[in-house]
Amino acid sequence: MRVIEGYYLPPRLRGLCKEVRAQVYNGITLHLPVVTKGLVQEVVKGLREARERYLARLPISHIVGVLDEASRWWLKEDYPLRQEALAVIPAITGLSRAVVKASIDAEMESSLSEDIWQALHSELGNPHYLDGFQYCSELAGHRRAYGPGLLIAIFSGNIPALPHLLFMRSALVKAACLGKMAAGEPAFTPLYLRTIEAIDPQMAEAMAALYWPGGEAEIEEALFKEADAVVIFGGVEACQGILARVPRDKKIICHSHRIGFGFIGRGALRKEAIPRLAEGVAYDHAMFDQHACLAPQAYFVEEGGEVTPQVFAQAVAEAMGVWEERMPRGRISRGEAAAIHQLRARYELGGERMLFTPNKGTAWTVAYEEAPPSFTSSPLNRFVRIWGVKEIFASLPLIRPLVPFLQNAAVAIGDEREGEFIARLGELGVSRVTSPGQMPLPSMMWRHDGIATLASLLRWCDVEKKEL
Amino acid sequence: MKGLPKEIAALDEEILAFIHQGVEHRDEDTFNRLALKAFALQFRLLSPYREYCARRGVTPERISSWEEIPPLPTEAFKVAEISLFPQLAARTFMTSGTTRGEERGRVTYDQGGLALMDATIDVAAASYLFPEGGRYLIFIIAPPPALAPHMVMAYGMERLRSRFGLPESRFLVSENGFQIDLLVDALHRAEAEEIPTAIFGGSFGFVNFFDYCRQVGIRFSLPPGSRCLDAGGFKGRSREVTREEFLVLCEEFLGVPNPFCVNLLGMTELASQFYDNTIYNRYKGLDLPRRKTNPPWTRTLVVDPETLEPLPPGEEGFLRHFDLANRGHCCAIQTDDLGFLWEGGFEVLGRATGGEGRGCSLTIDEMTRIAK
């Protein structure tokens, strides 16, 4: 049986962990430290010291260089830690190896130096504000940005290679960071932090990843008290529960569960464009098995184009079959399978609807119907819903009740209405508009959930002093 | 009102005769013949079902065994009229719908279908609930049919009350809720007068009653022969207790020993019911573990959650039921109840759930809770 470490402590702090317990996940044994309030207090003390000693003094260009190097290592097929991740994450998460591979590639390809510099420029104007006072012409004076001393992150979910983004952000703002791993995917982050350690061990001294069961209020409250900033990922209710325990004077960023939609207008439904468009829509559902907040809950497709929504649904079904070959759907629970079987029955027996499925099993489903009067959520796991609308703007009232949860929208209207349509989505609260086939692939420049994630962590000092 | 076609009435006669043969036989051939006959009829008369079967390459000519009959998922009853003779509706039952705004499944019975259901209730109860015969004081922790006309459990319990109950037997849920004082008084009287008593009801009603008894400090020691019949689970309407705890509570607060407490699996989509076998086994002197029993006019398969292919005994999967008394809608029903087959019966483990806490997309359950 394979044994891996489900946590990361930098070498200097490893001795703090006195007791390790083993947790078995589908043939993988994870070693997890027994986490106590005393342990986390010692750990964050060590992380802060390392930050003051080294990370806080590093030039941003060095930090970007290390992060870029780490991404490049992870993109190499034969990198041993990547191999290890590909061996264990599928077993732990249930996702197929091909999906895990695709998600690591997607995350790392968008985490190279060019992306990082662009993200810094886009949020800060001048990344060197992080290094020292820089002249700012708008201010007509000098300005500097300071990151938090200690950032605590609470992760959730099973999407591999996502928490590493937060460790990148914390490093960029020169913050020490302790992340609480998600029970659903505790393997990737420790491996990633070992890469940072291999490239620049002193930088890794300010990073740690631990796991403790949710609701350990004593541990979390001790950490929140120590923290300067707290970043939370999780379910809507879980986030609210955690938020209530974070003291008011901390910087807080909260990414709770969200949903996405696709919108295809009649102008985009040209015959010759269908195969590519269908493949893109299928990819949006296949990636991460539709578990990510980036994934679509449904695609609204407008009538009156060269191709009808029904025919388009069939094309998407063919593409889903192709994606299943390339990148199979993962294991699902019995409850998830039940939800798929039962919802399929609604489409098969519910009148003017269409259903496409493989011959056996629940690997993918494409269902067509006229857009229903009110929203119900998808069972996910590659369940594609194509919702026909007479006019694409008629889709907006249906998503209006979901405003607090809206995140990602794929839009291909295909005519002059597109600008107006995107404007309406923006007003409703959508924080990213992209093309079909690009939903799972946000850039590092994207302001995640509408938040400037780097800038929001900073404190500024402006020198407006005038020489007499 | 126009009656059922002759051919249907004739099939109903055959099914009725089969049910009235009781539970002591395993006539596979007759079961299979009647199941295929009912399927052919349902295939012909129910166009959505016919299309459903055709897409699976199944027609009555192509199959020779009841196991090949395509089952309709319970969800089908929420979106389509699954009824052979909706114009001859004698009774319509509806599923409970557990969350806000959820659509409810509808099952309509014609007169002949209702007669089949009545027969299953009578014959199954006479074998699995009251094999010793006689009449009992029956108290029912559920609303009567007049208050809950679409609740199949109310209908079934009323039938049991009229067939097996002494005159003072009654329902104990009114417009104002559970009349707990009436039950307490009645049980004190039954105890004093030594009249064997049967308490029926939703599982949560029992638990709420036990919690009340604990709170006010009362316990009963019902006369020998008394029994409990619970159905339907907890549905968030009482605290959740395991089956083992439930049986301990029945003994503790009612003095009804373990074998005399039976759980009933009933579904709006099924005319027949499945009882725990403990009263029956005790009566017959059989030493077998507690299981749900298939009366001879029903069958249960357990299927793989992913492929819906049948699984061998002992393996967990979704229960799929076949019920000849479902002649009026669809004999084969695919549930998402988890269970397994074992030693001539089956066990039900509860609804399949899961899928929470996987990704970062809003889930159905989360959505439902937030909407509340």
Q: What is the pLDDT of residues B280-327, one digit of tens each?
A: 999 999 999 999 999 999 999 999 999 999 999 999 999 999 999 999
What's the pLDDT score for residue A184?
81
What's the pLDDT score for residue A214?
73
- Give the long-range contacts of residues A247-251, CB within 8 A, separation 24 or more: A250/A224, A251/A148, A251/A456, A251/A457
Residue of A276, A328, A297 whose CA lies nearest to A407 = A297
CB contact under 8 A, A257 and B362: yes
CB contact under 8 A, B72 and A158: no
The answer to whether the CB of B336 falls within 8 A of the CB of B351 is yes
CA distances from A356 to A83, A323, A340, A348 (A): 36, 15, 12, 9
From CA B372, how far away is CA B367, in angstroms rounded?
9
- CA dihedral of B60, B63, B66, B68, whole degrees rounded to 10: -110
pLDDT at A432 over 50: yes
Q: Which of A337, A377, A379 sits opposite B362 (nearest CB)?
A: A377
What's the pLDDT score for residue B1?
46
Mean pLDDT throughout B119-147?
A: 97
What's the pLDDT score for residue B235?
74
What's the pLDDT score for residue A266?
97
CB contact under 8 A, B55 and A348: yes
Residues from chain B that touch A237, judged by Cβ atoms under 8 A, are 366, 369-370
Which residue from B minimizes the CA distance to A343? Answer: B75
What's the pLDDT score for residue A468?
59
Residue of A300, A296, A299, A302 whose CA lies nearest to A270 = A302
**Half-sphere exposure at residue A419, Cβ-oriented, CA atoms within 13 angstroms:** 1
From CA A20, how far away is CA A35, in angstroms rounded?
9
CB contact under 8 A, A334 and B74: no
Mean pLDDT throughout A103-107?
A: 94
CB contact under 8 A, B305 and A337: yes
* Poorest-pLDDT segment among A419-433, B59-73, B83-97: B83-97
Q: Give the whole-number percent of chain A exceeding pLDDT 90.
A: 84
Residue B52 in contact with partner chain A when CB distance is under 8 A: yes
Amino acid (1-letter code) at residue B195: I
Cβ contacts below 8 Å, chain A against chain B, sum to 145
Residues from chain A that touch B55, judged by Cβ atoms under 8 A, are 348
The encoded tokens of residue B300 equal: 């249960």
Q: A88 vs chain B: nearest CA distance in angstroms?
A: 16
From CA A294, how far away is CA A301, in angstroms rounded?
19
Residues from chain A that touch B361, judged by Cβ atoms under 8 A, are 257-260, 290-293, 295, 297, 380
CB contact under 8 A, A237 and B370: yes
What's the pLDDT score for residue B97?
64
CB contact under 8 A, A233 and B360: yes
From CA A105, how far away is CA B257, in angstroms rounded?
62
Which tops the pLDDT comparison, B111 or B355? B111
Q: What is the pLDDT of residues A252-287, one digit of tens each?
A: 999 999 999 999 999 999 999 999 999 999 999 999
Residues from chain B that touch A255, judged by Cβ atoms under 8 A, are 360
Residues from chain A that touch B369, judged by Cβ atoms under 8 A, are 237
From CA B160, how far away is CA A105, in angstroms rounded?
65
List residues bridging with A354 in a β-sheet. A368
Residue B286, number of CB atoms within 10 A of its CB: 10
Q: What is the pLDDT of residues A50-98, one digit of tens each?
A: 999 999 999 999 999 999 999 999 999 999 999 999 999 999 889 999 9
CB contact under 8 A, A336 and B48: no
Residues from chain B that touch A158, judged by Cβ atoms under 8 A, are 358-359
Mean pLDDT throughout B271-275?
A: 97
Q: At what angle do helices A80-93 and A97-109 cross, to 10 degrees?
A: 130
pLDDT at A466 over 80: no
From CA A34, how far away is CA A17, in angstroms rounded?
8
What's the pLDDT score for residue B355?
56
* Poorest-pLDDT segment among A90-94, A317-321, A429-433, B270-274: A90-94
Q: What is the pLDDT of residues A193-224, one digit of tens each?
A: 999 999 999 999 999 999 988 777 899 999 99
Q: Considering chain A, what is the average pLDDT of its residues?
A: 94
Residues making up chain A, counted from first to last:
468
pLDDT at A359 over 70: yes
Give the pairing of strands A459-463 and A141-146.
antiparallel
For the full predicted model, state whether its pTM sits above 0.95.
no
**Half-sphere exposure at residue A237, Cβ-oriented, CA atoms within 13 angstroms:** 13
From CA B212, how far away is CA B206, in angstroms rounded?
10
Q: Please report the ipTM that was assigned to this predicted complex.
A: 0.89
What's the pLDDT score for residue B330?
97
CB contact under 8 A, B75 and A345: yes
From CA B223, how far away is CA A293, in angstroms rounded?
60
* Poorest-pLDDT segment among A100-104, A155-159, B24-28, B97-101: B97-101
- CA dihedral of A79, A80, A86, A87, whole degrees rounded to 10: 160
Which residue from B minimizes the CA distance to A377? Answer: B364
From CA A408, how far away is CA A385, in angstroms rounded?
16
What's the pLDDT score for residue A1?
73
CB contact under 8 A, A257 and B354: no
Q: Which of A157, A338, A349 sits opposite B336 (nearest CB)?
A: A338
CA B210 to chain CA centroid, nearest Å: 23
What's the pLDDT score for residue A144?
97
**Locus of tokens 């199949």:** B152
What's the pLDDT score for residue B101?
53
pLDDT confidence of B197, banded at 50, 70, 90?
very high
What's the pLDDT score for residue B102?
65
pLDDT confidence of A159, banded at 50, 70, 90?
confident
List residues bridging with B322 in a β-sheet. B299, B332
Query: Over chain A, what HEC string results?
Result: CEEEECCECCHHHHHHCCCEEEEEECCEEEEEECCCHHHHHHHHHHHHHHHHHCHHHCCHHHHHHHHHHHHHHHHCCCCHHHHHHHHHHHHHHCCCHHHHHHHHHHHHHCCCHHHHHHHHHHHHCCHHHHCCCEEECCCCEEEEEECCCEEEEECCCCCCCCHHHHHHHHHHCCCEEEEECCCCCCCHHHHHHHHHHHHCHHHHCCEEEECCCCCCHHHHHHHHHHCCEEEEEECHHHHHHHHCCCCCCCEEEEEECEEEEEEECHHHCCHHHHHHHHHHHHHHHHHHHHCCCCCEEEEEEECCCCCCHHHHHHHHHHHHHHHHHHCCCCCCCHHHHHHHHHHHHHHHHCCCCEEECCCCCCCCEEEEEECCCCCCCCCCCCEEEEEEECCHHHHHHHHHHHHHHEEEEEEECCCCCHHHHHHHHHHHCCCEEECCCCCCCCCCCCCHHHCCCCHHHCEEEEECCCCC
What's the pLDDT score for residue B234?
78
pLDDT confidence of B367, banded at 50, 70, 90?
confident
pLDDT at B371 over 70: no
Residues from chain A that touch B308, judged by Cβ atoms under 8 A, are 341
Q: What is the pLDDT of residues B138-179, one digit of tens each?
A: 999 999 999 999 999 999 999 999 999 999 999 999 999 999
Q: B232 vs chain A: nearest CA distance in angstroms?
A: 19
Q: A247 vs chain B: nearest CA distance in angstroms?
A: 25
CB contact under 8 A, A338 and B370: no
Q: What is the pLDDT of residues B86-119, one digit of tens each?
A: 999 999 999 876 554 568 899 999 999 999 999 9
